[in-house]
Amino acid sequence: MTELPSRRLLLVHAHPDDESINNGATMARYAAEGAHVTLVTCTLGERGEVIPRELRHLSGAALGGHRLGELKDAMRALGVTDFRLLGGAGRYCDSGMMGLPDNDDAGCFWQADVDQAAGLLAEVILEIRPQVLVTYDDDGGYGHPDHIQAHRVAMRAVELAAAAGWDIPKVYWNRVPRSVAEEAFARLDTDLAGLPFDKAGALDDVPGVVDDAQVTTAVDGTAHAAAKAAAMRAHATQITVAEPYFALSNELAQPLFTTEYYELVRGERPAGRESDLFAGTGEAS
């Protein structure tokens, strides 16, 4: 295997598009700086709602295949070359929204054996040996079953990898400080008339919003705003972008953040707010 760069970042996400919305600027920044950025996506989002009318005939495996193509285009926009599907394409399928019959599909990610899925992810961890892992909190950010399961699998994989020889120094959960979200929605209210969206979303539409004091880390990706927006546009079945805002299939506008925020949950919490995910690892920018 080719020797990897000294800084190695692993992100674990549920569906194609989650990575670009939550971490696109972070991924583009570290890739541009020469870090090795690895994305593991747990499903192909086969049950996602499709926005463009001309693509609404897509569903199931056909939609999953299309979304894989979108993911490839998004990764090209972010400069990320190492992206994988957990267990390979089709190993786990989208579970649908919480409470739907889709959750009972034996092949869906929600029904996956956590230790088995975590074992597959631990293999990636042992191969890449990342100093940093990023994923969701225990509610998956907003309660989607695949996001919750991605959290469970990622955190269990950290334990399995540590037992097998690679103890990841730092694990982060995606966050947004409440004050930042409130200020962004206040701007959105002013800008809405000039946008291609009829209505604005609400604070509850943003996953991972927490009190400011809970946020340990802010990664300034402003220089990579165009890359993040391009990656989000690549996920055209799921996202409509009108910078600095976007909308999902509910057509409710929300802010597109280019500074991305995190909570350090494994590793020594900093006295102040960090600006680098690798701070304290000996591999800081």
Contacts of 222 (CB under 8 A, 6+ apart): 25, 258, 259
Instruction: Record the tokens describing residue 101, joined without a space.
Output: 């019959």
* Residue 94, number of CB atoms within 10 A of its CB: 27
Binding residues for Zn(2+): 15, 18, 147
Whole-angstrom distance between the N-terminal and C-terminal Cα of the chain? 25
Task: Return the bridge partners of 217, or none.
Answer: 262, 274
* Cα Rg of the chain, angstroms: 18
Binding residues: 15, 18, 147
Return the C-alpha torsion angle 19, 23, 25, 30, nearest 10: -100
Report how far residue 71's alpha carbon sits from residue 171's, in angstroms, rounded to the nearest whole number. 24
Report how far residue 254's alpha carbon sits from residue 209's, in angstroms, rounded to the nearest whole number. 13
Q: What is the DSSP letter of 15?
A: S
